[in-house]
Amino acid sequence: MSFNQELQEDLINSSILRSAFFNYFYRIFNNVADESFIGVSSKYLSYFNDLKEYVESDEYNNACKLFEEYVSEEEVAENINEFLQKLNVEFTSLFLSGMGNVPASASSYLSSDGLLKGEEWEKVTAIYKTRDFKMPESIKAPEDYISVEMLYMQKLSDLTGQLAQVGDIYLLQATINDQLKFSSEHILVWIDMFSNAVYQKATILKSKLYASTALIMKYYIKYDKELMQEFLDELNK
């Protein structure tokens, strides 16, 4: 079974962008920013703005505007160390400050027992094992933490591109099915609660980066699911 060259190229090219987006979300929510983060966000600005054509939402449009304001502030920052320190205070206040911080794991929102490693954690770890996905040792967070799940989505995106490159349509279909299932039955079940919680607190903290990215990520994941479903439908014809 084969598929046409245009579809193959679309899958390969989209996997590169999708992987980059998921990696960006991973970096944003995984840890405090360092010097290597400076200049990264500006590379995504035009892509996020382009998505306005597909994401018809005033909330998304406003998030992109806020993101653009952050990028402008980063570009004119005279003291990078002070700018990074400000970002790190925002990240710490959002996720690491103890009482009042924003929970960033699926179990925090979905597990009936309220445990940090609850039902959702068990589901996610089982899913990771089927794909032989292991967290980097540098990550000190549970497997159902938002940044880890973005890293897993990045892995699936990379694999989609590789399988499209070699033309393995059966494994490609299976990989896309796995991603759609993970998005539908897991990430999309709690991403609204997480993103909205981040946005609300980040707005209070006047954190343009985290407020805007939380909303952009929410809408991007929904768009990505629709995109991959379209690809799968084409492959199944």
CATH topology of domain 5-236: TorD-like (1.10.3480)
Lowest mean pLDDT among 114-118, 126-130, 191-195, 232-236: 114-118
At residue 208 the predicted structure's pLDDT band, cuts being 50, 70 and 90, is very high
- Contact indicator for 73, 96 with CB cutoff of 8 Å: no
At residue 2 the predicted structure's pLDDT band, cuts being 50, 70 and 90, is low
d(CA 155, CA 163): 12
| Interval 8-20 mean pLDDT | 97
Element (H, E) at 45: helix 42-50
pLDDT of 114 strictly over 90: no
Name the burial class of residue 229, with classes exposed (0-12), middle (13-18) and buried (19+) by CB atoms within 10 angstroms of its CB: middle
| DSSP 3-state of 205 | coil
Phi, psi of 2 (to 5 degrees): -130, 165
Terminal CA-to-CA distance of the chain, rounded, Å?
11
**Mean pLDDT of the chain, nearest integer:** 95
Which tokens sit at 30?
């995984």
d(CA 228, CA 81): 40
Instruction: Report DSSP letters for 89-149, one per residue.
Output: HHHIIIIISSTTPPP-BHHHHH-TT--TT-HHHHHHHHHHHHTT----TT--S-TTBHHHH
Output the pTM of the full model.
0.95
d(CA 64, CA 214): 11
Long-range contacts of 162-167 (CB under 8 A, 24+ apart): 162/15, 164/8, 164/11, 164/12, 164/15, 165/8, 165/12, 167/2, 167/3, 167/8
Phi, psi of 105 (to 5 degrees): -120, 150
pLDDT of 156 strictly over 80: yes
